Amino acid sequence: MFVGIDCGTQSTKVIIFEVATGQVISRGQASHDLITAEDGTREQHPSWWIDALSKALSIALDNEAVDASVIKGIGVSGQQHGLVVLDKKDQVIRPAKLWCDTSTHRENAQLIEQVGGNHAMYQQIGTQLKTGYTASKLLWLKEQESENFAKIESILLPHDYINFWLTGEKTTEAGDASGTGYFDIRNKRWSQTVLGAIDDSTSLIDKLPRIIDAHQGAGVLCAKSAAVLGLKAGIIVASGGGDNMMGAIGTGNVEQGVITISLGTSGTVAATSETFLGDESGQIASFCNSTNHWLPLICTMNLTNVTGSVQQLTNVTNSNFDTMLAKSTLGAAGLMMLPFFNGERTPDLPQAKGSLQGISGQNLTTENLCRAAVEGVSFGLKYGYQLLQQKGLAAQQIRLIGGGSNSLQWRQIIADMLNVPVVVPKESEAAALGAALQAQWSYQIANNNSTSLADICDNGVKFLLGSKLEPKLSNATLYDELFMEYQAQKFKLY
């Protein structure tokens, strides 16, 4: 058995995966608090993650199907881009700034300028620097809390910190490191230039964790943490990674030809690539993955936040949502939504606002409004998918995760719109499952077992019966025409 941990923004989720059956046999969850402020501050105390991990694992272990003595490894998935800083005594200096913290937007712009502009930044790290990445958080700390900055002995990401608590070792891997903004994604090494632009008075690179390969163990579970968790000391702790990277593994997206799309509050479209695929425009985040390859992905800022708002407005429940979509027809009788409720990241339209177009006295119905919302946000995913296609990453199959994947009608819309078969993994906690499967991979390599990660995923990634949907060619053609209209309206306004 292997433990998969997913430390997200809202909670920590734990699953226990059994190799013999290829099934998740137990699970637990515990929530986190969030520190917020009007300036965009979003922070958490790392101790909250450890407390939640302990509670969630305790729930998962309290199951007669689980034999803790045969648990052989642990994998950790973490929310990306966070900043955890430790002092000389390995104590946390201040709360961690999270991926969704936008209080550092001025420092982000300043750092890009100090490196020499967007082109120079791209040359250094292989992608464009975004406010959410870790680099601007470090510069913010230097300028806003200089006393805390001066105390820094170690700089970690959230999943790095959890691995450190588990093992006593400070390590990271290329996938999660890709989201720091001071990691060279092409060559998989720290960027001394960016780190020097943050602070040239000290060697920040010496304060960063050791970079290990994805298949390597970060260490073994130390006695102190084993006692807290109720597990055996000495079991392997895998390298782990960021939630997008672990989610890819948890959907079996470890070889080219498969694309994972997440229909969550925001949307992601992610593919595996055996080579680095740069995109200086910054629309594709050309991250590394946690399988020693790369995970080019795009992110849209609006998905179930849009459909949820429409449901709330129209009093449509989740159980009735599919019915509303089925009552409407392709194109929502001419109703088109530009769903930029939170601005947009791909393409980069941070100040964009949403709009509803094509309204008539006949088409402004609840069912058409629901469908216009789904089609509008899905067009954003189609735009991202086309960016990956242009890089040679066309999909033979799309694997859908996130809350939106529960909608049969939405799944068919994605299949038709992208003209690719879709399927839904059985395990909804893809990141936690991916962490467990990576732990199995790490354990087997450490024990001279040559089983590939793809074979491990074949055993562990199951799909919901009847969830596979084929695209309807006539619908795909109509959606191509509507997409051209959507693009024209989007760029006319913005």
CATH number for position 342: 3.30.420.40
Query: Could you tell me if 320 and 421 are in contact, meaning their C-beta atoms sit under 8 angstroms apart?
Result: no
Residues with a catalytic annotation lie at 243
Which amino acid type is present at position 329?
T
Q: Is the residue at 453 inside a domain?
A: no
Residue 433 belongs to a domain? no
For the record, the structure tokens of 40 come out as 């965009």
How many CA atoms are closer than 13 Å to the CA of 142, on its beta-carbon side?
19
Residues 341 and 373 in one domain: yes
**What is the Cα–Cα distance from 164 to 154, expressed in whole angstroms?**
11
Q: Look at residue 423 and give its three-state secondary structure.
A: strand
Determine the residue type at 347.
P
Q: Taking the mean position of all CA atoms in its chain, how far away is CA 489?
A: 29
Q: Residue 134: CB partners within 8 Å, gap ≥ 6?
A: 81, 82, 83, 157, 179, 180, 181, 182
151 and 181 both lie in a single domain: yes
Last residue of a domain, one of 244, 276, 298: 244
Do 131 and 94 lie in one domain? The reply is yes
Residues 157 and 283 reside in one and the same domain: no
pLDDT at 282: 87
Give the three-state DSSP class for 397.
strand
What is the enclosing helix (H) or strand (E) of 160?
Answer: helix 158-167
Q: Residue 83 gets which letter from DSSP? A: B
Domain boundaries, position 257 = 252-424+464-494
Q: Which of 244, 268, 290 is the last residue of a domain?
A: 244
Q: 372 and 229: one domain?
A: no
Work out how many domains the chain is built from and give that number.
Answer: 2
Same domain, 270 and 397: yes
- The span from the CA of 418 to the CA of 434, in Å, is 25
Cα angle: 386, vertex 175, 4; to 5 degrees: 105
Domain assignment present for residue 451? The answer is no
The tokens for 468 are 């596979």
In a domain? residue 457: no
Alpha-carbon distance of 422 to 415, in angstroms, equals 6
172 and 201 belong to one structural domain = yes
The structure's pTM equals 0.92
Same domain, 233 and 259: no
In a domain, 147, yes or no: yes
Cα distances (Å, whole numbers) of residue 41 to 10, 95, 101, 103, 368:
15, 11, 5, 5, 37
pLDDT of residue 288: 97
* Positive or negative: CA dihedral 453, 455, 456, 462: positive
SS3 of the chain: helix, strand, coil, percent, to 5? 40, 20, 35
Whole-number pLDDT of residue 345: 81
**In this structure, is residue 452 part of a structural domain?**
no
Is 289 inside a domain boundary?
Answer: yes
Residue 259 belongs to some domain of the structure: yes
What are the residues facing 2 on neighbouring strands?
Answer: 17, 73
Residue closest to 274 by CA, chosen among 262, 258, 250: 258
- Does one domain contain both 209 and 279? no
Helices 318-327 & 304-314, crossing angle to 10 degrees? 90
Helix (H, G, I), strand (E, B) or coil at 24: strand
Nearest to 315 by CA among 356, 264, 370: 370
Q: Are residues 337 and 316 in the same domain?
A: yes
pLDDT string in tens for the chain (494-residue length): 999 999 999 999 999 999 999 999 999 999 999 999 999 999 999 999 999 999 999 999 999 999 999 999 999 999 999 999 999 999 999 999 998 898 999 999 999 999 999 999 999 999 999 888 999 999 999 999 999 999 999 999 999 999 999 999 999 999 999 999 999 999 999 999 999 999 998 899 999 999 999 999 999 999 999 999 999 999 999 999 999 999 999 999 999 999 999 998 889 999 999 999 989 988 999 999 999 999 999 999 899 999 999 999 999 999 999 999 999 999 999 999 999 998 888 888 877 889 999 999 999 999 999 999 999 999 999 999 999 999 999 999 999 998 999 999 999 999 999 999 999 999 999 999 999 999 999 999 999 998 899 999 999 999 999 999 999 999 999 999 999 999 999 888 77
Tell which of 217, 244, 271 closes a domain.
244
What are the tokens at 184?
């060279």
Whether residues 203 and 292 share a domain: the answer is no
Q: Check if the beta carbon of residue 222 is closer than 8 Å to that of residue 167.
A: yes
Same domain for 19 and 49, yes or no, is: yes
What pLDDT does residue 493 have?
A: 72
